[in-house]
Structure 1
Amino acid sequence: MFRDRVAGRPVVAGVLALALSGAALAGCAAHRAAPAADDADGLPHTTVQVSLGRCGTGWSHPRSGVQVFDIHNASDAPTEVDLIDPRTQAVYGEVEGLGPGTTRPMQVTVGGGSYAFKCLPDDADAMTGGTVTVPGHAPAGPSAPAVSEQDVIPATIAYQKWIGGRMTVLAARAGVLKGDIDRGDLAAARRDWLTAHLVYETMGAAYDTFGAADGEINGTTAGLDGGVTDKDFTGFHRIEYGLWHGASAAALKPFAARLTADIGALRRSWPQARMDPLQMGLRAHEILENTVQFELTGRTDYGSHSNLATAAANLAGTREVLSGLRAQIAARYRALPQLDASLARLSGTLDGVGHGGHYPPLDDLSRTRREQLDAAADDAVERLADIAAIFDIRRTS
């Protein structure tokens, strides 16, 4: 369940801010004649002022290299400040939600070229400061043109249609599972439970749009006082617990009927649902982030020991989201080949522990295999954080 899974983990906005100011969108800065004695990071610092009617004053000694702008908001309204290429509008770094009278650092890397600060105050039009030219031919850090909502609407619509098709498959496979339980064939039910569940686990970017239905269909015991016996524990994981803990077919029939009914209701309502285009890049990151946190630790295992199969389904779901965004990513992200290689490495690592789509329990893996799998997944998640940062829709006017 998406909402259960994200509870208690670090807020992704912090990851995005780090990526934008550093690895994902490194950029430009300026300097004092020498770092001040209180600059514990050892980097050159420049104080840059933003105020009503003025944006980015104080940068008078441009140079290349890793530097820090200390952005001070002298106005009486919160503002966002971006460092941009004034010709292409590509963003090198940003500070969001800068309150009145406050100062925050923007650490960026600058190469030779032209730069400007862009200020986007709350409830006011954007302003772009004067262009500053940095001499020399040092390479600039990565940058990305801002993504607009219009840029991602086509991919969102296509993905929503794909989810509709997956729901047809999901409903059919859940029906097979219900039929197994209704006729008392629990061996077949254990096989068909996994087949149905893996369909759902490929649909991760839509969980938030599913709303309460996600908890009803794929919820865990997280937050339930009664644990596995709580009346609100339903769906795939409740059936999983029963199938692998000796429950009778009669005891499982109500849960199977409830699961097919919940899936049917979600399927009927889906044509009226509207996914948020602003969330697509973020979801591409969160799917595998949740995989690392919950599947590769076994926290969602209620007896089937199918976490590795679920991880493979999650990876397939991540790739589906990225396929729709690929043209936008390619235009903004120079490390796309490295991301592709990282996802391929994770896929190959999973294939190396599975056989024809069948995976052993996590506990059966050697320590070396677990470390290889964790390392491959962690690398993919880190690279996908860059995608979430790039698709963090920001104001342009």
Structure 2
Amino acid sequence: MHTPRLIVFGTAAALALTACGSEKAGSATTDDTIAVAASDTECNVAASTAAAGTVTFKITNKGSKINEFYVYAEGDRIMGEVENIAPALSRELIVELTAGTYETACKPGMLGKGIRNAFTVSGSAPALTEDAKLAQATADYQRYVKSQTSALIEQTTAFVTAVKGNDIEQAKSLFPIARTYWERIEPVAESFGDLDPAIDAREGDLEEGQEWTGFHKIEKDLWVTKDVSKDGAVADQLLTDVQTIVDKANSITLSPIQLANGAKGLLDEVATGKITGEEDRYSHTDLWDFNANVEGSKGAIAALRPALEEKDATLVTTIDAKFAAVDTALEKHRDGDGWKLYNELSQADLKELSDAVNALAEPISQVAALVAGK
């Protein structure tokens, strides 16, 4: 959940990803879709109630700022989100909701708690996981998450130890490695309210008076200030927050729709941060994050594969080919066990990567509706 400063081709990438499956502002919606008119000051949701099951929102950004839309359960747990909705464009969000009380929120400028509305779901509906293949998908993805969180806590512990030991070179080498495991499971991590920004906020994401903590605060001190002698408390808090994420992530099971939305959301992360050099602006280790986001998207699709092949084998073949194209474009920038620094890539290199991600995003954007049976 970041505010991007996009370079020219990055803007094109973001708009292309935002536009996947969208229409121009003001277009009609179907009877079973809830229209959301988002602006710089308002979040007008056409309905405040829905029947249990899969619920589709169509969000149109009528403002001048990039906007986001969220559906929150109790405790600000994110049930679904759409980020980076450019002005004059629309995006759809499909979520699976059981009976209960929720909140919807638009976030103009992608900052703050958002403009919120109460939303109530009533009745009952068969869970998507009553489909055996979708139930297996959620179980398989949970195993994937546990493997990643185990490595995340191990590598973050090593990174924090280096920071607290004032071993700058060791901390620099461990920074992109620890973040790899974070970026692979970011859809899970983002679902837990304020923990994601505490761990991953960039300096420009902060609201007035908000303390800057997490990976990127330490990143700036490692590469710019070149002094982490005062970062012990920040490092300790980072490890505490990561452990909390790990504990929470291992205790929940995402729905099949959340897997589908997460696969797409990770590609949006690439287009609005990694491909622009905005994410790791001090270390320039963006390609580690880029690759991790793509791998995380693959992980979600891999879990869903048996169900997707049954529903649309041709789409799965297309997705596989597009993932392979992204991998081929990225592998050109391999450097040993890692990747070249972002500032070593040319504009042509970055455009090739951007085009490959855009081509992948289009078929990935169809997965949620397929899983929902729409």
Would you call these one fold, judging by a TM-score over 0.5? yes
1:174 matches 2:174? no
| CA spacing shift, 1:211–1:156, aligned 2, 3 Å | farther
Paired letter, 2:165: R
Partner of 2:93: none
Per-residue displacement from partner, 1:165-201 (whole Å, max 9, x unpaired)? 3222111111111111222211101001111111111
Paired letter, 2:203: T
Per-residue displacement from partner, 1:146-165 (whole Å, max 9, x unpaired)? x9343333312321232123
Partner of 2:8: none
Per-residue displacement from partner, 1:278-302 (whole Å, max 9, x unpaired)? 3221111111122111110112123
Identity across the alignment (%): 19
Partner of 1:317: 296
Whether contact under 8 Å (1:291, 1:311) holds in the other structure is yes
Q: For the pair shown, which has the larger CA radius of gyration, 1 or 2?
A: 1
Partner of 1:291: 270
SS at match of 1:331: helix
1:316 to partner: Cα distance = 0.9
SS at match of 2:338: coil
| CA spacing shift, 1:205–1:124, aligned 2, 3 Å | closer
Pick the aligned partner of 2:340 from 347, 357, 360.
Answer: 360
Structure 2: how far apart are the matches of 1:162 and 1:262?
A: 20
SS at match of 1:305: coil
Per-residue displacement from partner, 1:181-229 (whole Å, max 9, x unpaired)? 2222111010011111111111133133333222222222344146xxx
Any unmatched runs of 5+ in structure 1? 19-70, 81-95, 99-121, 126-146
SS at match of 2:225: coil
Structure 1: how far apart are the matches of 2:303 and 2:321?
A: 18
1:343 matches 2:326? no
1:323 to partner: Cα distance = 0.7
| CA spacing shift, 1:79–1:381, aligned 2, 3 Å | closer
SS at match of 1:335: helix
Structure 2: how far apart are the matches of 1:168 and 1:97?
A: 35
1:189 matches 2:171? yes
1:243 matches 2:225? no
SS at match of 1:210: coil
Paired residues for 1:36-47 under 5 Å: none
Whether contact under 8 Å (2:263, 2:297) holds in the other structure is yes
Per-residue displacement from partner, 1:91-150 (whole Å, max 9, x unpaired)? xxxxx789xxxxxxxxxxxxxxxxxxxxxxx9999xxxxxxxxxxxxxxxxxxxxx9343
| CA spacing shift, 1:345–1:258, aligned 2, 3 Å | same
Partner of 2:96: none
1:376 to partner: Cα distance = 0.9
Whether contact under 8 Å (1:17, 1:389) holds in the other structure is no
Pick the aligned partner of 2:245 from 254, 266, 272.
Answer: 266
Structure 2: how far apart are the matches of 1:17 and 1:153?
A: 29
Deviates further, 339-348 or 212-221: 212-221
Structure 2: how far apart are the matches of 1:272 and 1:317?
A: 19
| CA spacing shift, 1:363–1:181, aligned 2, 3 Å | closer
| CA spacing shift, 1:204–1:288, aligned 2, 3 Å | same
Pick the aligned partner of 2:138 from 129, 137, 156.
Answer: 156
Structure 2: how far apart are the matches of 1:167 and 1:209?
A: 15
Whether contact under 8 Å (2:263, 2:301) holds in the other structure is yes
| CA spacing shift, 1:268–1:367, aligned 2, 3 Å | closer
Paired letter, 2:341: P
Pick the aligned partner of 1:381 from 332, 342, 361.
Answer: 361
- Give the structure-2-normalised TM-score: 0.65
Pick the aligned partner of 1:199 from 173, 178, 181.
Answer: 181
Partner of 1:215: 197
Per-residue displacement from partner, 1:33-70 (whole Å, max 9, x unpaired)? xxxxxxxxxxxxxxxxxxxxxxxxxxxxxxxxxxxxxx
Paired letter, 1:220: R
Paired letter, 2:287: L
Partner of 2:261: 282
Deviates further, 309-318 or 385-394: 385-394
Structure 1: how far apart are the matches of 2:32 and 2:358?
A: 34
Paired letter, 1:369: D
Paired letter, 1:349: A
Figure out how many residues of one structure are paired with residues of the other and give that number.
278
Paired letter, 1:289: D
Structure 2: how far apart are the matches of 1:340 and 1:170?
A: 27
1:249 to partner: Cα distance = 2.8
1:14 to partner: Cα distance = 7.3
Structure 1: how far apart are the matches of 2:331 and 2:339?
A: 9
1:373 to partner: Cα distance = 1.3
Partner of 1:329: 308
1:370 matches 2:350? yes
Partner of 2:280: 301
Paired letter, 2:215: F
Paired letter, 2:328: G
